[in-house]
Chain A
Amino acid sequence: MRVQEPNRAAVETRDHARVTSVLMVGVGGQGILMVSKVLATLCQNAGMEVKQSEVHGMAKRGGAVFSHIRFGPEVHSPLIPEGEADVLLALEWAEGLRWLHYLRPGEGVFISDVRRIVPPFACRNRGRGVTPEYARATPAEIIGRLGTGYALDATGIARGLGNERTANTVLLGVLSTALAFPEEAWIEVISRVVPAETLEINRAAFLAGRAWVAEATVPEEEASPVTADPLLARITHRLEITRAWCKGCDICVKFCPERCLVLDEEQIALLAEPEACTGCRLCEWLCPDFAIRLHKEVPAPGASTSPETTSGTAGCDR
């Protein structure tokens, strides 16, 4: 899905004469550190000074991971100040949104996988009723506010190649079109960083990312946010509770990050606040009675969609 045409002229003339800041974000296990290492090595090989700073403490539990990379003839601070990132590379959609204010207004390039990962425990401590607004924003809405943005189903592309874990390399391919390093230099570094047995698929993933950008270049008039195809935003979800199976153990009620489930007067789970349900599936997964099922509904290709359906509806099948 191409959302907005990249500002090619701006990208290609970027000469790295000044400090370039790339912020990479995602959740644990996606391979952020691997792509960071590729970029840092690439810069180093090009004779530039590189500073890299990362946080990855919660990796195993699906927590946030980010990596600041700054390079140029001379770099002092390892951290990117807010509003000064030239590129924000997000391996996960919500994480990308969380860091948007770091992008250089009007100039920064936003590259993100549209896949949403809702780590079950990452948001358990959020206050009741706090609307997770970022999770509702469609790629079209977001990209529309930015200078240059790419929102793509990198995970889907990677899966199509045979290994969805190479989604990070697909995004690296997209990133490579925004920086002035030659293609061969990227591939050379990638082949040194990735495990030998995954070399071929990573090369394919990198090229697929670059190819996606090339194909995504469509005439300006078709590229408005209104006619874009924000697929994920069009997926709706519906929570089905099989009352006869529920034994009222209360696990779904207590574990729901949005506190949108309650036990009714018969001690049976009830979706009391359907509009608060994000479809994270925690209740489905932790229901020992198999009484909860989250249905995701994907409209047929080309089906028209109204703005109302993009926010995700939840209904309770009683």
Chain B
Amino acid sequence: MTAHLRNLQGNAACALGAIAAGCRFYAGYPITPSSEIAEWMAAELPRVGGIFVQMEDEIASMAAVIGASLGGMKAMTATSGPGFSLKQENLGYAVMAEVPCVIVDVMRGGPSTGMPTRPSQADVMQARWGTHGDHPSLVLAPHSVAEIYSETIRAFGLAERLRTPVVLLYDETLGHLIETIATEPPPPEALLERKWAEGPRREYRPYAAGEDLVPAMARPGDGHRAHTTGLTHDETGFPTQDPERVARLLDRLLGKLEHHRALIEKVDRVETEDAELLIVAIGIAARAAKAAVGALRRQGVKAGLFRPVTLWPFPEEGFRSAVATAKTVLVPEMNAGQLVLEIERLAPAGVTVHRLGRYDGEPIAPEEIVAAARELVR
């Protein structure tokens, strides 16, 4: 395949990335500012033999995506804050039943209906803790149109390989930003795929996992006739309330992503080697931060940027090494302080953590970050 240079909107890049990753099913419900993903999928999926369906609500579209994935298709939905809230229960089902799928949350101002056409980064914690119960979360936070394309492909790989829902989290600005990108579908052998159950049914236990903690999935029609439930289950797939089995399931579910951190984690560092002031940011705020790092360096401030491309599970080791030389950490984010909580948790003793928040529907400008940083290093 040759790379095509195209001017694409972030949401379009997301749709094309999904198709390049092998996504053949999309169910969605219109919501600003993510609707273009659905529109692109509606046009593109039939061309690759896929299925697009607009469901009756956000809940149903999440359910249909899980249903399609249970049937063996790579499946995706996209939404924004209010719809993301509605999807949370079924997202939890996908975690519990270990059903691969990708959910895109194009963040807009909240709470409630908020500002549908204005950007925000206020779903950082909803993406981590949105569904009830103890659960792992896998969230990717791209910061450019090109990265939306590549991270969407990566999201499918991780979802399929690890049997888990993966959230792609970016804001309205990126969703509607148009940039020139190279859309180069990866060769099929480069894609991470699902592990399907093989062998005799008699020996198959649907939720028995080997060392990688990821059980092989039964595909309907292959003869395994498994039971899938959102109830706490044991390795047979049937419900249990036996404390030992319950603990074993949750240990594995929570340990699964921990076990695969090397595969999951991805970070971007800009001049962190000697940084005394470390800026931590994601998405559009990280782009401003990148510009701010350049400006601060020119002004003699040893600034650096740590950008967790994989937002959850938070790349703790990557952050620890990036923060090694820092005395101060600044977290610019378009919310009232969410990412900063994780940074406060992880920051070593003696390092002070500050936030720069904005929730008025305007992106954070590089000058704001520069000004805040100069205030901190004075």
A–B in direct contact per CB < 8 Å: no
